[in-house]
Chain A
Amino acid sequence: MIEQIFFYIFAIIAVVSAIAVVTSKSPIHSAIALIITLLQVAAIFILLRSPFLAAVQVFVYVGAVVVLFLFAVMLLDLGGEKIKEQFHQQTVLGVISSVGLFVVLLFMLSRGSLTAPTGGYTEAVLAKNTEVIGKVLFTKYIYPFEVVSLLLLVALVGAVVLVLNQKGKDGV
């Protein structure tokens, strides 16, 4: 009961601030709203008995990714956006795809198939949450894990190559 009340508090704040992310004019205010959203998601992870994911969420997303966003925003001096610039003549496509997404979501919700069965982990096992995640990640899901890390490596190399090419053009 108490848990549900907390869930609704976190969820409502998360949704409201997520809306604020896309509606606020100043990119810095958007970033603040994004931080609040991510913190609420972390709180929901704790309600789901997953403190490790919550800590990582705060650590990686709030602590690093949004800082990078802010760095870019401050470096490029993005001012307040105008309404016009938000739609690059893609209004029709945008409306169609978002309406489609909502229809699918509503369909799923009405059929009640958005719930998933809980795993076979008891409270006692979940106390060693980190260990469980580690074991599963490095045994059962090792293949997707490695694929993701390879993907990140490719992105990293790509970024380095782009920067190097630019340097060559300037004659540096």
Chain B
Amino acid sequence: MPELGLIIEVVLIFIKVYIVGMILFMLPLPLTWLERKVAGRIQVRLGPHRVGPKGLLQPFADMVKLLLKEDIIPDKADRFLFKLAPLLAMIPAFAVFVAIPVGDTFTIPGIDYVFKLYISDMNVGVLYVLAIGGLGIYGIIFGGWASNSKYSLLGGLRSAAQMISYEVALSFAAIGVVMMSNSLSLVEIVKSQGGGFWNWNLFYLPVGPVWFLIFFIASLAEINRIPFDLPEDEGTLGSGFHTEYSGMRFSFFMLAEYIAMVTISVLAVVFFFGGWMPPIDPATFGIKVPAQIMSVWGIGWFIAKVVVFIYIFMWIRFTLPRYRYDQLMTIGWKILIPVSLITVLVTGLMRIFLT
């Protein structure tokens, strides 16, 4: 008979997974609204404003529309793969969040139970996140192939090539973070950046900002967002890999895309912006704040940083045009990879001689 503590732990994990899953399922609703409002603002128009106050109910209207649409499967499509692809795109996007910490621990006062604000603190968290996050590409490739449409196939092909090219740079950025923080665990990475914003990896001068830019560009390409959204290039490919998808299957792809955006924002915050660490720690001024308040305050900071990043992604989307395919490859192979190799060297030397 296993002991009570273990059972509580397991039950808590299930509850946490459920909560995180539900939050992620619901997140695209406000995000689509936000994205369209941001688009409206930037293009000097209003965005959705007719359904509900300020158009807040627009996502629900969209959801009803998508649910009621006919689910079309092309005649000569590979039916099994066609149905599987949206799920393949979606599941990894959810699975990544197992490793993501929103805070350290929360000691419940009274019973002194230490509640962990993450589902699992793996000692290979960075690798896990990158590996599972990279699996989402299969949804796009298989979706493109199974549709039996030339545009979809080209979208899938582009996606595969793009992903291979930018995975390298993204992994280098992760290596840089691991070198700066000296750990593969996401919780440890955040902890190493505590104590004020000057300790954040972004301000690990001179290499921190370079790593951040490499990470940011490569991750933009990884999640297929403008300016690197060639797999769903409306101008040349219809709408790329999801040309043939309609109704709920299409919305699964959209769901996966939005969650991937959240994932990358979260990773950027964890890797470079100190996760849940507030920019200025009261402890440095000798002010004592109870640990419980600090951890809630930290979650607030974490969410605020993630929201800022999501806004930046949307802002970029409605500012920059799309790259050409050869430009995309040039940026990936001829600029990002050499720059990251040099930066690995510099970071390594800094770690050896400065610490």
Contact = CB atoms under 8 A, between A and B. Distances in A.
Contacts, number: 72
Interface string B105-139: 00000000000000000111001101110110110
Contacts of A67: 137-138, 141, 160, 163-164
Interface string A103-128: 00000000000000000000000011
A32 B141 CA distance: 11
B122, B131, B141: most-surrounded residue (chain A CB, <10 A): B131
B144 to A, nearest CB: 8
B142 interface: yes
Contacts of B184: 52, 130
A32 to B, nearest CB: 8
Given A64-B167, A71-B160, A130-B184, A56 B127 contact: yes
Interface residues of A, number: 24
A32 B135 CA distance: 12
B164 A74 contact: no
A71 B161 contact: yes
Contact of B124 (A32, A52, A62): A52
Contacts of A35: 138
Contacts of A68: 160, 164
Contacts of A1: none
A13 interface: no
Nearest to B178: A130
Given A74-B153, A130-B184, A52 B127 contact: yes
Interface string A41-61: 000000000011011101100
B145 A28 contact: yes
Given A28-B145, A70-B141, A59 B160 contact: no
A71 B130 contact: no
Contacts of B138: 35, 67
Nearest to B141: A70
Interface residues of B, number: 28
Contact of B131 (A26, A55, A71, A127): A55
A64 B128 contact: no
A139 B160 CA distance: 36
A143 B78 CA distance: 48
B102 interface: no
Nearest to A39: B135
A75 interface: yes
B73 interface: no
A56 B157 CA distance: 24
A127 B183 CA distance: 13
B135 A28 contact: no
B194 interface: no
A127 B127 CA distance: 16
Nearest to A71: B160
B303 interface: no
A68 B138 CA distance: 11
B123 A129 contact: yes
B220 to A, nearest CB: 18
B168 to A, nearest CB: 9
Interface string A10-30: 000000000000000010100
Given A59-B131, A67-B141, A74 B123 contact: no
Nearest to B156: A74
A78 B137 CA distance: 21
Interface of B: 78, 81, 122-124, 127-128, 130-132, 134-135, 137-138, 141-142, 144-145, 153, 156-157, 160-161, 163-164, 167, 171, 184
26 contacts: A26-B78, A28-B78, A28-B81, A35-B138, A51-B123, A52-B127, A55-B127, A55-B128, A56-B127, A58-B131, A59-B134, A62-B131, A62-B134, A62-B135, A63-B134, A64-B134, A64-B167, A67-B137, A67-B141, A68-B160, A68-B164, A71-B160, A71-B161, A74-B144, A75-B157, A129-B124
For the complex of A and B, the 3 pairs showing the least CB-CB separation, nearest first, are: A55-B127, A63-B134, A59-B131
